Amino acid sequence: MRPYLSIVIVALALAALASLAHSNTLANSLVTATIIALAGYGWNLLGGYGGQYSFGHAAFFGAAAYVDAVAQARYGVNAYAAFVLATAAAALVGVVIGYLSFRAGLRGSYFALITLAFAEVMRVLANAAGITGGAAGTLIRLAPSPSHFQFVGRQPYLWIVLVLVTLAMIATRAVERSRFGAYLVAVRENEAAARALGVDALRVKLQAIVISAALTGLAGALYAQYFLFVDASIAFGPWISIEALAAPIVGGLGTVFGPLVGALALDGFGEAAHAVAGRTPGIELALYGALLVLVVAVARDGLQGLAVRFFAARRAGAA
């Protein structure tokens, strides 16, 4: 139980925060931030633990968002079934992209480039195809009732994302403590050495990208369900690929709390930037970029690592 205790504490703290978030704006901001955290948990598994940096997690996010919306809007699929289907679709996209790229031995910059290209291909296709509603996008019919996975007000959504984020944290911890997790990190650190120890590197990377895609897909499906609308640039645009990687890196790469800490911090920074610079488009993302560079430059282990070191120093100073 010990390894999961910190997760329970963080989940309770989140719950307290959520129950205090009475204003719609605050709840809304928290929902988006935690959806991004969820997408970040997906990225963190493959990028943080596995060392495979994807620049195209939008492919998974978007596939799930579209499947969720299109299944409901066009085929009248039940919202919950659509949600499950959407997550499965993201995992499937993960299998395909992962199999093609890892089989071809792509890593490092090459892997980043090809994931980016796959996401862009999907964006162009979604923007042109009929089934996705083309450039107009797809609307999910408004029908606020729990049986349609739609709710009045922001609060219920907030609780749902919080539960999912908690599950993502638990899953991350479970991976950390499993053979699969050890193999994944070994592949990140030194693939040749890992293979000599019996690690099937291709298989490990494939498993990682599937779980990664499913988690990010969960975020995409939830996003569609929350806003009841998707179009190509929301679903497959570069913004979500960037947010999904910025959150864990800023928060703490390859850690259980990194994506959550990072997503909340980035959200906070974004709000602060708005307060200072007004709603000029671009300021927020420019800040993201600067923060990304800064974290890589001075705090390899992210904000979480900074905090840990800060408290360790304090304790050492006090002793």
Using the minimum distance from each CB to other proteins, give the nearer residue, 20 or 200. 200
Q: Which residues pair with 138 in a beta bridge?
A: 230
- Positions in 34-53 near other proteins (CB under 8 A): 51, 53
CA distance 140 to 231: 12
Using the rule CB under 8 A, which residue among 100, 131, 272, 313 binds other proteins? 100
Q: How many CB atoms lie within 10 A of CB 92?
A: 17
Binding mask 70-99 for other proteins (x = CB under 8 A): ------------------------------
By C-alpha distance, which of 134, 113, 128, 137 is closest to 55?
A: 113
CA distance 46 to 206: 9
CA distance 240 to 7: 25
- Minimum CB separation from other proteins for residue 26, in Å? 25
Using the minimum distance from each CB to other proteins, give the nearer residue, 17 or 106. 106
CB-based contact 14:165 (threshold 8 Å): yes
Would you count residue 197 as binding other proteins (CB under 8 A)? yes
Burial degree of 160 (CB within 10 A; 0-12, 13-18, 19+): middle
Collapsing DSSP to helix, strand or coil, 233 comes out as helix
Residue written as token pair 């040749």: 192
Would you count residue 117 as binding other proteins (CB under 8 A)? yes
Would you count residue 309 as binding other proteins (CB under 8 A)? no
Residues 6+ apart with CB under 8 A from 124: 232
Would you count residue 280 as binding other proteins (CB under 8 A)? yes
- Minimum CB separation from other proteins for residue 231, in Å? 16
Binding mask 150-169 for other proteins (x = CB under 8 A): --------------------
- Minimum CB separation from other proteins for residue 295, in Å? 9
Would you count residue 15 as binding other proteins (CB under 8 A)? no
By C-alpha distance, which of 182, 43, 183, 192 is closest to 105?
A: 192
Using the rule CB under 8 A, which residue among 108, 144, 146, 153 binds other proteins? 108
What residue ranges bind other proteins (CB under 8 A)?
51, 53, 55, 100-101, 104-106, 108-110, 112-114, 116-118, 120-121, 124-125, 128, 177-179, 182-183, 185-186, 188-190, 192-201, 238, 242, 245, 249, 277, 280-286, 288-293, 296-297, 300
